[in-house]
């Protein structure tokens, strides 16, 4: 677990994500990534001469509820970390829902609810559990399906910097989180997402896995590419 927390700390320090005395809202989904993030951020406080305050928010979709047992286990886990966590019941569809449902609409609706909670608590930062594999898969998805060079930023401003999304696990590979789960009992659960069978990320995970057989540095290259744009070969 020490190696995992060190890598989280490296991403935080490199991108100056957290300052002393800050209050941070963690987006808790019940999945392995967000629970690992909660563990890392709280454990890291024992290692660094800096204090910061953590809050959690779990959004319980009315259409796909987590269930009483899962919520109980989640609150017990968050309580063991001494992180207050609120359960917010909401509709998975946004208030102005007039388009076919997709992952983007769900993600946007989740951000809206997280930002509202951050504003209610007077917090300026929202931490999400995206890891290195999520970031490089997003880069490829944008390139293949949207025709644009875009990715997830370690620190991303919204509303002219009033709220920032931070991704402390930006330099942690998914396999390291899976390894953590073998030594630390995370109360992982999942909802019956209607889009899961069509998950595009699974395709890119397999693609990256195949390319890695030829070039073991493919993940690092994809992660670093947005910061090393060769403008001589772009229009």
Pick from 203, 214, 216, 211: nearest CA to 137: 203
Q: What is the pLDDT of residue 194?
A: 66
What is the pTM assigned to this prediction?
A: 0.93
* Location of structure tokens 């890891």: 131
**Crossing angle of helices 32-44/174-183, nearest 10°?**
80
Q: What is the pLDDT of residue 75?
A: 98
Q: What is the pLDDT of residue 97?
A: 64
Domains identified in the chain and CATH numbers: 2-233 (3.40.50.620)
pLDDT tens, 179-219? 999 999 999 998 777 666 557 888 999 999 999 999 999 99
Separation CA 178–CA 183 (nearest Å): 9
Pick from 93, 94, 76: nearest CA to 85: 76
Pick from 217, 186, 167, 174: nearest CA to 18: 167
Helical spans, DSSP H, in 45-86: 68-80
Q: What is the pLDDT of residue 191?
A: 79
Separation CA 217–CA 62 (nearest Å): 42
Q: Tens of pLDDT along the chain (235 residues)?
A: 789 999 999 999 999 999 999 999 999 999 999 999 999 999 999 989 889 999 999 999 998 899 999 999 999 999 999 999 999 999 887 777 666 767 777 888 899 999 999 999 999 999 999 999 999 999 999 999 999 989 999 999 999 989 999 999 999 999 999 999 999 999 999 877 766 655 788 899 999 999 999 999 999 999 999 888 888 888 8
DSSP of 148-208, one letter per residue?
S-----SEEEETTTTEEEE-TTTT--HHHHHHHHHHS---------TTGGG-HHHHHHHHH
- Distance (Å) of CA 57 to CA 82, 111, 128, 202: 14, 11, 11, 27
């Amino acid at each position: 677990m020490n190696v995992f927390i060190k890598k989280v700390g490296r991403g935080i320090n490199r991108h100056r994500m957290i300052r002393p005395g800050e209050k941070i809202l963690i987006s808790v989904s019940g999945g392995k990534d967000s629970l690992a993030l909660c563990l890392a951020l709280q454990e890291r406080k024992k290692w660094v001469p800096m204090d910061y305050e953590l809050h959690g928010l779990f959004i319980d979709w009315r259409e796909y509820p987590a269930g009483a047992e899962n919520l109980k286990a989640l609150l017990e886990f968050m309580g063991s970390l001494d992180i207050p966590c609120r359960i917010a019941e909401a509709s998975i569809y946004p208030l102005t829902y007039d388009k076919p449902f997709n992952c983007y609409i769900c993600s946007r609706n989740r951000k809206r609810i997280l930002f509202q909670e951050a504003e209610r608590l007077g917090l300026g930062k929202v931490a999400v559990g995206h890891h290195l594999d999520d970031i490089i898969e997003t880069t490829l998805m944008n390139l293949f399906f949207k025709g644009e060079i875009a990715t997830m930023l370690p620190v991303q401003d919204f509303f002219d910097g009033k709220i920032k999304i931070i991704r402390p696990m930006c330099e942690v590979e998914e396999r390291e989180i899976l390894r953590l789960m073998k030594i630390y009992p995370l109360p992982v659960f999942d909802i019956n997402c209607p889009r899961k069978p069509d998950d595009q990320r699974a395709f890119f995970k397999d693609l990256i896995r195949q390319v890695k057989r030829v070039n073991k540095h493919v993940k690092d290259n994809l992660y670093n590419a947005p910061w090393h744009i060769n403008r001589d070969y772009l229009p």
